[in-house]
Amino acid sequence: MAEQQLIIDRFYKTIIDSVYDMIFLHDLEGNILDVNQKAFRSMSYSKEELCQMRVFDLHPQDSNKDVYDRKKVKKQWQDCPVGDSVQFELEHVDKNGGRIPVEISAGKVKENGREYFLAFVRDISIRKEKEEKIKYISYHDHLTGLYNRRYFEKELARIDSSMLPLSVIMGDLNGLKIVNNSHGHTTGDKILVKAAEILEASVPEQGMVARYGGDEFIMMLPNLNNRESHQILYQIKERCSRIKAGNFPISIGMGIATMNNLQENINDIIKIADKEMNHNKLLETNSANNKMVKGLLSALGAKSDETVDHTERMTVLARKMGKQLGIHNSELNRLSLLATLHDIGKTSIPASTLNKPGKLNDKEWEMIKGHPSRGYKIASATSEFAVVAEEILSHHERWNGSGYPRGLRAKEIP
């Protein structure tokens, strides 16, 4: 009979040592009486070391959470009826100081008139990592890494008097549409990322910045009045003047509004900042877009000297022809602008294709034939250059209709 019991004991011990969870047997004072193999291997202690410790020795000592309050935990153990269990999550600290998030389910058992707890402890590190990742994704913009609008609007509910005065800066990237139309959204994304870096570097420690929309950003600046917030705005503009994303300048239209008391509605403050931003953007957009287009022309010039020389020749010839035809003033200036910008759609074409001495292959030729349409999109993005957008689109049309991209004939051509 004793031999049979020994076999059964070994059988149960084998099962206990092979389970996935750590198992601790301890008394109501937290003294560890026994553990399975998973426990001492996971905690980097020997079984003997663990059995000289209390479960509280495995808990971090720097937490303010109630769950780590020993008196509260002991009371919870004492009040728990035999056969019932308690569940909670905390961290265990292994012998090397490493922290392991764990989920504990501890059931009360009674043996020989004494009460004990049998605690099943599961390492939930992977689950916590996934939860943190999901939380990060739900509150951060995937492109820039800034907080997203969802997080920003959640933070609005936390505004209290300790944050006053509270200033808001709304920002909107100038010229992004031109870059997206000329070089694609991948290049536009690089400008968004660079703008985000500038804003993040400018926001004070107590403030926050979020991506509010496609090309919009918003900053919340606690304990900064309107004058102090304008200093932040000037810092951003100064950084923008020094930093580029490749060949492209960074230009952000901004507006500021300040909340001075809790009777004001923060959403009204945001609307005021947005209105000021749009007003400033109207004043700055032409200048910013002009710089962007000049940057595109400069980038095109860096790819192909022939293109630059060709543009200069076209501009001179256009003015001469215009004067000969009796075109004057604004129309002559429009003709000159067309000559200057007509090839701007070539900015996204590789230099190897633009400068290829031999015959173009089909793929390269299709790329070249697409430049009037790309140029049209670039020019259309700004009122300053939209006046020649239709002509840029049409500058490779032919009188006999054999041109591109629309195959216009004779007087159908602008």
* Residue 237 CB contacts under 8 Å (≥ 6 apart), including other chains: 252, 254
Q: Are residues 225 and 263 both part of a single domain?
A: yes
Examine residue 3 and state whether it is found in any structural domain, yes or no: no
Same domain, yes or no: 73 and 99: yes
Q: Within this chain, do residues 152 and 288 fall inside the same structural domain, yes or no?
A: yes
Find out whether 166 and 226 touch, Cβ atoms under 8 Å: no
- The domain total for the chain is 3
DSSP one-letter string for 122-190 = EE-HHHHHHHHHHHHHHHB-TTT-SEEHHHHHHHHTT--GGG-SEEEEEEEESSHHHHHHHH-HHHHHH
Task: State whether 342 and 280 are in the same domain.
Answer: no
7 within some domain: no
Which DSSP string do the residues of 398-412 spell out, in sequence order?
Answer: -TTS--SSS---GGG
Q: Residue 68: what pLDDT? A: 53
Q: Kindly report the CATH number assigned to the domain that includes residue 109.
A: 3.30.450.20
Contact 59, 88 (CB under 8 A): no
Residues 121 and 165 in one domain: no
Closest to 272 measured CA to CA, from 173, 159, 170, 203: 170
Please check whether residue 96 lies inside any domain of the structure.
yes
Same domain, 103 and 80: yes
> 207 and 231 in one domain?
yes
Q: Is residue 101 part of a domain?
A: yes
407, 212 in Cβ contact below 8 A?
no
pLDDT score, position 285: 65
CATH classification at residue 337: 1.10.3210.10
End position of a domain, from candidates 100, 127, 154: 127
| Partners of 317 in the β-ladder | none
pTM for the model stands at 0.68
Of the three residues 243, 267, 298, the one that is the final residue of a domain is 298
Together in a domain, 255 and 380: no
Low-confidence ranges of the chain (pLDDT < 50): 11, 66-67
Any idea of the CA torsion for 76, 78, 82, 86, to the nearest 10 degrees? 10
Residues 286 and 316 in one domain: no
Answer yes or no: is 134 within a domain. Answer: no
Verify that 72 and 205 share a domain, yes or no. no
3-state SS assignment for residue 22 = strand
Domain containing 111: what range?
12-127
- Calpha distance 149→97 (Å, rounded): 38
Q: Which domain CATH number covers 188?
A: 3.30.70.270
Same-domain pairing of 57 and 197: no
In a domain, 316, yes or no: yes
What type of residue is 138? S
Give dist(CA 153, CA 409) in Å, integer. Answer: 55
pLDDT tens-digit readout, 358-375: 899 999 999 999 999 999
Say whether both 171 and 205 belong to one domain.
yes
Whether 356 is in a domain gets the answer: yes
For the four alpha carbons of 49, 50, 56 and 60, in that order, the dihedral sign comes to positive
| Predicted local confidence at residue 67, as pLDDT | 45
Going by C-alpha positions, the residue among 312, 385, 374, 382 that lies closest to residue 349 is 374
Among the candidates 268, 298, 328, a domain finishes at 298
Tell me whether residue 6 is in a domain: no
pLDDT attached to residue 66: 41
* Measured distance CA(272)–CA(405) in Å, rounded: 45
